Structure formats: structure tokens, C-alpha cells
Amino acid sequence: MVDRKSRRPPTVEVVRRPAPATPPSSTPTPPPAGSASTTSGTPPPAASTPAPTPTPTHGPTPVRPSSAAPRPPRPPLRSGGGPPGRPASRGPATPPTPEAINALAARERVPARIAKGDLEGKMRARIWRKLHAEEARRFDQAYTLMGQHAGLDLAEAFGLLQSGLTLEQFRTRQARTRAKATVKAARSAVAAGPVDAWLAAAAAEKAPLAFVLADRTLLDVLLQTHPVAFVLERSGRVEKLGVCAMARRTTWDVLQPRLPRDSRLAQKPVPVAREPDRRPHSDPRPFLAAVGQRVRLGLRNGFTLEEPLLAVGPYDLLLGDEGAELLVPLHALISWETVGAPELP
């Protein structure tokens, strides 16, 4: 009886069930009291933690793209060349014609490139004139000269402004420039082989030559031939413009006594112009048709030669017979003609 009174009553612990998967009601219902279990001699189990309740949603949550995702491609440019959202170019569908460009340039007094850009939808001509006032003023002067002188183009008008000459003086200088270009082209069209070969042979032989100048004759040996001068053994450098004829000494000694000579020119020879376009005969091409014929040449120191024409070079004529040649520079001529034919121009 004593043992029964001293025994402690068993411990009773209430264990909650886990919450159901379905959403709970607003008022929780306590479990019944009879669901508790008693256990003797064993430790009570630990209380379980209730599972979290998911939050209800009304639809799928949108996912934002990360920064590493590729961007969508941009729309292609339009045919007009401008980016999207900007107006297309105002230029024409077809390129402007040269006539339209020149007409606009003359009307607005601007360069042709500015007029072309205006027609293509680029900078306006009047805007260019505001931005480049100094250059626009020069174009005004050039177009004014074109209006005053018929037949004057824009390039000639600018040349006339820059030169400070009158129109007649400017035309004369233009003619000289064209003549120089013509002479240069004519000389380049004629081969110099035969004349150069004769000079090289004379220098190699060391044979005495007669260099006929305007007022005297030099007897010397040719050492070298430069573009504008001869180098002689005793006389040194002799300018080519001062030479009227060249031949071997033996040939000239035989030829000189029977040559006619104008006494007035012998006393006062005709001077040689430095500019080839101002000389009577600078173009060698007319002499090509007379090769193989006898020609009569009038020299500026008064001598008149009548010999067969063997070869023509850019600057000289080769006359005479084989072994007795005579070299005459073109700058020494004041007249020439073929024997038995009318004088050639």
C-alpha cells in the first residue's frame, strides 16, 4: 500500500498533427483530447514543426531576361540612307547631269562640286557661300569676267585674275604655252638614234671636227656631248645654241670654199631665241618627208647648204654623203626647202 501511494502519475503530452496540404480554414480546430497517447518508461517524442504554408498566387510570375541574353537585331536601314525615324534624303533618284550641274553652278556662282552636292541633296549652294565668303567672292569675280568676255571659261577666268594681265596678254601667253607643248610632243615623236650614233663615233675616233659658230669656226676634238653643250678638248664647254654646223675637218675644208654666204648675215647673224616656240623651225616632223632628197638650208650666219638629207633627229639634221656627213642644228635654220620643189612651210 505504501508503494502505490509513493508512485508518481505518468506524464501526458499533447502532440499536434502536421497541417494538411489544403489551405487551412480561418479558425483552427483543436485535436480531440482522446488522441493523446500515454507511454510508460520511454522518453516522449519531440514536437514536430508545422510545414510552411505556400502563398496563393493569381497567375505565373514573369521572368526578366538576364543581361547576358542577346539583344534583338535592329531593323535594316531604309533605301534612302537615313536611320529609322529620320526623313529620307531629298536627293533625286537619278544622278544629276553635267548640264544641270553647270547651270546651277553658273546661277549660284559656286564650284561645280558644290552645285553637284546641292542637286544630290547635300549642302545648299547658298549655305556654302555664307560659310566660305572669301572663296565665294573670287568665284563672283571669275563669273563676272566670263560674262564680260565671250568664250572665256572658268579656268581661264581664274588664270586671268591670278596673272593680273589683260585678256590679250593672257591669250598670247596661252598660245606660247600650247606651242611649247606642241614642240615637246614633236621632239619626242622623232628618234635620236642616227644623230647620237654620229656624235658618239666622232667622239670615239678623236677626229678633229669643225664647229661652225655664228662668227668663227673652231677646230677641236669632241670629248663629250651634254644636253645643252659640247665639251671640247681645247676650247672646253661650248653651248649648243652657238653652233650653226658641225663636220669633220676634212669635210669642212672641202665644202666651205664653194658655199654661198649672205654678207649681211655674216656681219650680223640672226640671234637664237631661248624659247623653242619662238624659233623659225623647232618641229622636226616636217623634215621626215624629205629624207633621201636634196634640201637647201639657209643658216642664221649667212651660209646656204645644199646636200642630201640623211637623217632627222629631235634637234638636228644629218646631211651629206656617207663618211662626209654634216650636222646642222634646227635652231640654226632660218629657211629650208627641197631642191626642185616649192618651199615648205
CATH (domain of 272): 2.30.30.100
pLDDT at 165: 84
pLDDT in tens, 251-272: 999 999 999 999 999 999 999 9
Task: Specify which of 76-80, 91-95, 254-258, 339-343 reaches the highest per-range mean pLDDT.
Answer: 254-258
> Do residues 156 and 202 share a domain?
no
* Contact present, 183 and 278 (Cβ < 8 Å): no
Indicate whether 246 pLDDT > 50.
Answer: yes
pTM for the complete prediction? 0.58
26 vs 292: which has the higher pLDDT: 292
Question: Would 332 be classed as within a structural domain?
Answer: yes
Bridging pattern class, strands 333-338 and 316-321? unpaired
pLDDT at 39: 42
Query: Which residue, 164, 182, 202, sits at the end of a domain?
Result: 164
pLDDT in tens, 22-81: 555 544 555 544 444 444 444 555 444 555 555 554 555 555 555 555 666 665 555 545
pLDDT at 38: 42
Local confidence band at 154 (pLDDT 50, 70, 90 cut-offs): confident
> Do residues 221 and 114 share a domain?
no
pLDDT at 152: 85
Question: Would 319 be classed as within a structural domain?
Answer: yes
> Do residues 198 and 331 share a domain?
yes
pLDDT at 316: 95
Query: Which residue, 164, 183, 210, sits at the end of a domain?
Result: 164
> Do residues 234 and 326 share a domain?
yes
Q: What is the mean pLDDT of residues 282-305?
A: 93
Question: Would 184 be classed as within a structural domain?
Answer: no
Indicate whether 103 pLDDT > 60.
Answer: yes
User: DSSP labels for 200-212?
Assistant: HHHHHHT-EEEEE
Q: Which domain holds residue 153?
A: 98-164
Question: Would 175 be classed as within a structural domain?
Answer: no
**In this prediction, what percent of the chain has a pLDDT beyond 70?**
72
pLDDT at 65: 54
Distance CA 33, CA 13 (A): 11
Local confidence band at 188 (pLDDT 50, 70, 90 cut-offs): very high
pLDDT at 88: 55
Q: What is the mean pLDDT of residues 80-103?
A: 69
Q: What is the phi/psi pair of residue 299, to 5°?
A: -95, 160
> Do residues 231 and 304 share a domain?
yes
Which residues, 6 or more positions from 101, have their beta carbon under 8 angstroms from its beta carbon?
112, 115, 116, 119
Question: Would 327 be classed as within a structural domain?
Answer: yes
Distance CA 80, CA 89 (A): 6
Indicate whether 129 pLDDT > 50.
Answer: yes
Q: How many domains, the chain?
A: 2
- Spatial strand order of the sheet with 294-299 comes to 236-239, 229-232, 217-225, 208-213, 243-248, 324-329, 316-321, 304-312, 294-299, 333-338
> Do residues 279 and 214 share a domain?
yes
pLDDT at 302: 93
pLDDT at 326: 94
Q: What is the rounded average pLDDT for all residues in the chain?
A: 81
